[in-house]
Structures are given as C-alpha cells and as structure tokens.
Amino acid sequence: MESNIVLECLRTRRSIRKYSPQQITDEELTAVLEAGTYAPTGKGLQDPWIVAVQKREQIETLVRMNATVMGVESNPYYDAPTIVLVFASSPDKWANGILDGTLVLGNMMTAAHALGLGACWINREREMFATEEGRALMKQWGLPDGLVGVGALSLGYPAGTPKPQPARKENYFRIIR
C-alpha cells in the first residue's frame, strides 16, 4: 500500500511524558482542537465539550486535583504547558457521550503528532470534575450542567525522543469472511 501520512501518524504516535516548557503556538493549539471537533459522534450530536487550559494557576489546580485522585504528589500531566480536557453528557442523559469524547481525544492525539507536538492521554477527570471544586471550574469555564469529565491530554513540545513503537501483539485482529 502506498505511503499515507494519516496511517504513518497512527503507526508512529507515542505517548509523550516529558515536555519542553515552551508554550505551543495558537495556530498549533487551534489545529489540535479543531481536529477534535471532527471526531464522529453518535447521531451527529457533537455532544463533547473541549477546554484547553494554559493559565498557570488553573494548570496547578488541575495537577493538584488529579494527583489527589491518583494518590501521588507527582504531576500527572507531566509538566505539559497545555492541558486539554474533554467533557460529555453523563451516561444517564446520553449513552454515547463518553464514547464520543474518547474519539475526540484520539483525533486530537493524532493531530498533535502530525504537527510535531507531543500528547498523552490522561485519566481521572471523571473523578476530578465530580467534586465541588471540579463543578465550580466547569461553571467558571461556561460549561453546561450535567457534564462529566471524559479524559484529558497533556500537550506540548516533546523534550527528547520517545522510544520506538513496540511490535503489535500476535493475532490482534481477525478477518471473518
């Protein structure tokens, strides 16, 4: 099969866990966020909500909240200069909301890699934003009530070269004809 940049990005993308302190450009951020908006969503509802945080004080708050849920003192966002959060309707309001949000995160990780940025999927946002503090942040950001945290990306310029992609496991997929 011919070389294809999308397939190549999917094959070579790695989770980045060490970032340069330099902030990404507005153009790069917009491109990553826009890629998230093109993820498929159930019934075309475009249910997920994306929030990019670059404000230092709010990043520190998110780091503290996530570390508390995780039970660590380290930075769960790996000192990335940008954190991108994804929210969706709670499952009792829309059964596909969380699934749709995961596709948004996947699109943004692939786009980040295509732009030469690093990204890593981060968990625990569901627990973080179920707290009073988390709900207050969501309100401050102008999000509607009834959303849950799906996940987040640490986002920035990679500091160093990631390890090569490991080999895929045997029999990962099957074709039934």
pLDDT tens string 158-175: 998 888 888 999 999 999
Looking at the chain, the whole-number percentage of residues with pLDDT higher than 70 is 99
Q: Looking at the 3D structure of the chain, how many domains does it have?
A: 1
Look at residue 168 and tell me if it is in a domain: no
- What pLDDT sits at residue 127? 98
Distance of CA 43 to the CA centre of its chain: 22
- What pLDDT sits at residue 158? 98
Q: What pTM did the predictor assign? A: 0.95
Look at residue 162 and tell me if it is in a domain: no
Look at residue 72 and tell me if it is in a domain: yes
Q: Collapsing DSSP states into helix, strand and coil, what is residue 71?
A: coil
Show Cβ contacts of residue 26 under 8 Å, excluding neighbours closer than 6 positions.
Answer: none
- What pLDDT sits at residue 36? 98
> What is the pLDDT averaged over residues 68-73?
97
Residue 135 token pair: 């709900």
Look at residue 58 and tell me if it is in a domain: yes
pLDDT tens column, 83-97? 999 999 999 999 999
pLDDT confidence band for 61 (50 / 70 / 90):
very high
> What is the pLDDT averaged over residues 22-30?
98
On the question of pLDDT at 8 being above 80, the answer is: yes
Domain of 140: which CATH number? 3.40.109.10
Measured torsion, CA atoms of residues 109, 23, 116, 20, in degrees rounded to the nearest 10: -100
Look at residue 119 and tell me if it is in a domain: yes
Look at residue 7 and tell me if it is in a domain: no
Range of the domain at 81: 21-156
Look at residue 1 and tell me if it is in a domain: no
Angle at 53 between CA 122 and CA 14, to 5 degrees: 35
Look at residue 59 and tell me if it is in a domain: yes
CA distance 35 to 76: 24
Q: What Rg value do the Cα atoms of the chain yield, rounded?
A: 17
Give the burial class of 60: count Cβ atoms within 10 A of its Cβ; 0-12 exposed, 13-18 middle, 19 or more buried.
exposed
